[in-house]
Structure 1
Amino acid sequence: MRKYKNMLLLLLLIVLAGIVFGGKDTAKAYVQTKIDELKITKVSDIEVYNLYDINNITIDNSFYPYLDTRIFKFTLEEDGFVKMLLTADKLTKNTYSNSKHTVQEPLVSATVYRDEKLIFEVIPTITAKGSTNTAKAPVNGETKAKVALDRGTYYVAIRTDKMQQSANTSTFVKGEAGFILYYQPVESDEIFRPSSVGNENPIKSEKAVQGLLTVANPRDYYMFEIKERSLVDITYMYESSNKAKFVLYGKDREAIITKQFSGNNVKYLEERLLDVGKYYLSLETLSVGDGGRTSIEISSIPYPLNLRQVNRTKNSYIKVDTIEVPKEVRYIRGKLSQRDINNSNWRTAELITDTLQFGINKAGNYSVRVVDDFGNIFIENISATACDNTAPAKPKIKGYVAGDYEVTGTAEANSLVTVMFNNRPYKCEADSKGNYSCILPSRLAKGAKIEVYATDISGNVSSSAVVTVK
């Protein structure tokens, strides 16, 4: 019987020891189940504030369970900026030793977490320090800069010096800490908060989208659509002074442009010629814990390049409709695509910048390349199935008097007439009735040979008419 009594006594001692030495953790678990809501001071400008609601937080770890940490929470109805201020002027750190009492400077800190388990820290710890005499002012803890946070609930851990106890000495903190939480709501045009791949915020042309990069969501995604080939300007801005990254993605989400930039509320511009399709953007802060307002805007200028065949059996040619005042327009036989903008054959391709048309006398594919003043290059092609391949009639030479500067005659209407004189070509155009007049730089001399041939709009060349000046 005594054996069983001894066992019961031993079990009772183990239970008491667990309560004494494990009481602190038990109390912490109890506090976590009842988390008080902090008062928020809502302001229109986080950098300018006069009024505030102070949270008076009672701290006393002189009694069991000797709490040195208290957990609170606050809820943001909208995305915005937050600043914190922590005071310790009403706190004392007391030490009792053999009936002697001394006062030391207490420390109290505040850390904000995204989760109730206090794992994901979103605002760095701030620390306040009390004072032991009136000659030395206490030191407040304050966030160095505004912190961008998403809407939702956050948890604040208020921690102070631990209670220390020995056989003859006991040290504890007692009093009130003051905690002020400033909050500036920020309006956002973003539909998806947070955004992600597959949930990109849409951008419409000529309309700026205001956004916010936050500590928990440091990257935003956007999407826009191009319905016709266009020269697209993308203007973007990041409020923070820290580094950020801009990326433009193609239709298959391949990176087209990647740029790192410093924020500072400076607007940056990227310009790119884009074909029809969907495109994606991302803005990302590169500094941990950073955040701030963003702005992004898309504008575009259509860059048409339309090829149209005019006529089929007589005077067939390709008409080119494109941007105003192109720097260079060339055409070449064959079917080329945007991948062939630097094909070496373009160097010798015929220039049609002034006329924006070219004749065709052979069926098949033709490609046109346009270059603008900014170096943007784009290509279109057309397939000609039927065209004029009949040479024009031989021209007639009627006027070629010695001592004159002029050669006249008739040729196919609207054809290009070439007069060969002194082994040099001189060109003129036949009018709608077929009459032509070609002015030469020197007088016609007796015995000089004159050769004339015509080229129609399609590029067909006539046989030559030849005369000798008498």
Structure 2
Amino acid sequence: MKRRLILFCIICVIGNFLNVFVCRASSMAKSIEKIDFVRVENIKDCQEDFELQNIYITSSKSAYAEFTIPQDGFVKIVTKANTIRQYAEGVTTYLGASTILYRNKNFIQPVGKEVMAGPDQVSETEAVALEKGTYYIQFKISDAVEELGIYGMLQTAVLYQDCSSNESESISTLHKRNQITLDKALSGFISDISPVDYYEFTVSRRTPVKIGYWTNQEGTTQIELFDTSNNKIADGSFTGGMEWFEVEKYVEKGTYYFKISSTARGKSEVRVMKQKYDLTLSYKKPIIYVNTKTEYKEIRYLKGNFYTTDVAATAWDNGTVLGKGKNSFAVNKAGYYTVRITDYTGKMFQTAIYVSDVDNVKPKAPVVSYCKAGQYYVKGKAEAGATVYLKINNSSHLYSAKASSKGVYKVKINYYLFKGDVIQVYAVDKAGNKGRTCKVIIK
């Protein structure tokens, strides 16, 4: 019997606790009223007539509402604190109300600034850019001593200007990026909730690309381009609005993404464009020809296949620079050759070519048929088209002449030969192969 009595007491205590908890939870539950938005053409200079919706206040320091917008756009909340009053100790006090916009039902993530309307006054929140979805408003009664005795009404309207976009991800992230097709415009949207957008694109071959961005709002915008390893390979920033801004980069075949951060809220246009640089390479054994109509400041080349991300790498310091007006060079080794052009604006771009059929056979030593003391030249025969080099008495100074199509050469020197002088003659063919040296003593 005693045990039953103890058990009964425990059940009563638990029951009372649950009753108090449920009552408190019930009193804390928010009554959220649904309101409709008013569509306007220009939210910053609204000329349309619109009606205010009534929100009734009964013994509470706050009232709550929710609304849903079907597309991305700008939102402004108009609030009038009409007849909110508190009666306490025989005194009636007229109260104002502040408006706070939230992005979720928990009312813990405000968007924009809290705006106050005094008794019988009207307030407007600043226009904020929001993605499509449902949002929540708290109307907080000001100067209320306690919740009891508060009653009356406020009026409100949600003004909405449509700024629809065709982004695949309304709120994009690093791992949830908008897909963009080359050379096709995409309407974007930068919101107050998510002031950063991510876009991803793929190129099927090595190509220069240009990322274009336009916004109809003033602000500072930064574009950062990354490769698949999250390495930043290009960036740029600008301040302003209503103008086209571009970031350009030569990229390899593959997938890339870029990040747009902006203080300019609202609609934007994004486009990734393939660029056509006027640079191609062709090969006719043993010469690589650089084909371009670009007015260039410099052409240089390296042996090997260099990625476009290496366009300014220190390896290019060791590249071979072609002489002014020259747009070809000879090769005698199979493999890749990369050519880089620098134009007069300082912009650099490059491309590569692979050659397999090369001339790597060394030419024979030239034949000296005429060399005589007291003469100013040496004659003979060598491989047709080869360049014949001559030095006297092992001097570092070289004289040269090109062999004709029949292989005949004549090397002129700037003083006459003496008896006993030793001349050394060798040939370098069109491919750059150096042949053996022929040595002759002047008699």
2:133 counterpart of 1:152 = yes
Corresponding residue to 2:123 among 141, 149, 153: 141
CA shift for structure 1 position 196: 3.4
- CA distance in 1 between partners of 2:418 and 2:248 (Å): 63
The answer on 1:298 being equivalent to 2:272 is yes
TM-score (norm 1): 0.70
Q: Which moved more, 1:192-201 or 1:237-246?
A: 237-246
- Per the alignment, residue 246 of structure 1 pairs with 223
Are the counterparts in 2 of residues 162 and 172 from structure 1 also a CA contact under 8 Å? Answer: no
Question: AA paired with 1:319?
Answer: I
Superposed CA deviations along residues 16-53 of structure 1, whole A, max 9, x for unmatched, are: xx89x998974774834xx33x2433222222211132
- Which of 366, 371, 379 lines up with 1:394 in the alignment? 366
The answer to whether the Cα contact below 8 Å between 1:273 and 1:376 also exists between their aligned partners in 2 is no
Q: Deviations over 1:245-275 (max 9, x none)?
A: 5332212333334667656556544333321
Match of 1:319 among 288, 297, 315: 288
C-alpha deviations, 1:122-178, integer Å up to 9, x for none? 3433221125xxxxxx4x32123x211111222223333587689xxx85442x433
Distance 1:171 1:321, change over 3 A: same
Question: Partner residue of 1:135?
Answer: none
Q: How does 1:41-440 map to 2 (within 5 A)?
A: 41-61=38-58, 66-88=59-81, 90-91=82-83, 93=85, 95=87, 97-98=89-90, 102=92, 104-130=93-119, 138=121, 140-144=122-126, 146-161=127-142, 172-174=150-152, 176-237=153-214, 245-257=222-234, 264=241, 268-285=245-262, 291-301=265-275, 310=285, 317=286, 319=288, 321=290, 325=296, 327-332=298-303, 338=307, 350-352=320-322, 354-360=326-332, 368=338, 370=340, 372-373=342-343, 374=346, 376=348, 387-396=359-368, 410-420=381-391, 424-436=397-409
Determine helix, strand or coil for the equivalent of 2:166: coil
Q: 8 Å contact 2:61–2:150 — kept in the other structure?
A: no
Change (3 A) 1:349 1:75: closer
Work out the CA distance in 2 between the residues paired with 1:342 and 1:123: 44
Q: Is the 8 A contact 1:452 1:464 kept in 2?
A: yes
Q: Is the 8 A contact 2:53 2:157 kept in 1?
A: no
CA distance in 2, matches of 1:445, 1:206: 69
Whichever residue aligns with residue 181 of structure 1, its letter is V
- Over 3 Å counting, the alpha-carbon distance change for 1:400 and 1:59 in structure 2 is farther
Contact 1:395 1:412 in 2 (8 A): no
Alpha-carbon spacing, 1:421–1:345, altered in 2? closer, same or farther (3 Å): farther
Q: Which runs of 5+ in 2 are unaligned?
A: 1-11
Contact (CA 8 Å) 1:39, 1:53: kept in 2 or not? no
- In structure 2, the CA distance between the partners of 1:255 and 1:364, relative to structure 1 (3 Å rule), is same
Give the deviation of 1:384 after TM superposition: 5.4
Q: Distance in 1 between matches of 2:314 and 2:175?
A: 40
Q: Distance in 2 between matches of 1:69 and 1:246?
A: 42
Give TM-score, length-normalised by structure 2: 0.74
Distance 1:201 1:59 in 2: 43
Q: Percent identity?
A: 20
**SS at 1:47's partner residue?**
helix
Structure 1: which 5+ residue stretches go unaligned?
Answer: 1-10, 132-137, 311-316
Instruction: Please identify, of 223-232 and 146-155, the stretch whose mean Cα deviation from structure 2 is larger.
Output: 223-232
User: In structure 1, the residue corresponding to 2:385 is in which secondary structure?
Assistant: coil
Measured in 2, the distance between the counterparts of 1:394 and 1:165 equals: 111
Change (3 A) 1:25 1:270: same
> Given the superposition, is the C-alpha separation of residues 350 and 281 from structure 1 closer, same or farther in structure 2, using an over 3 Å criterion?
closer
Match of 2:6 in 1: none
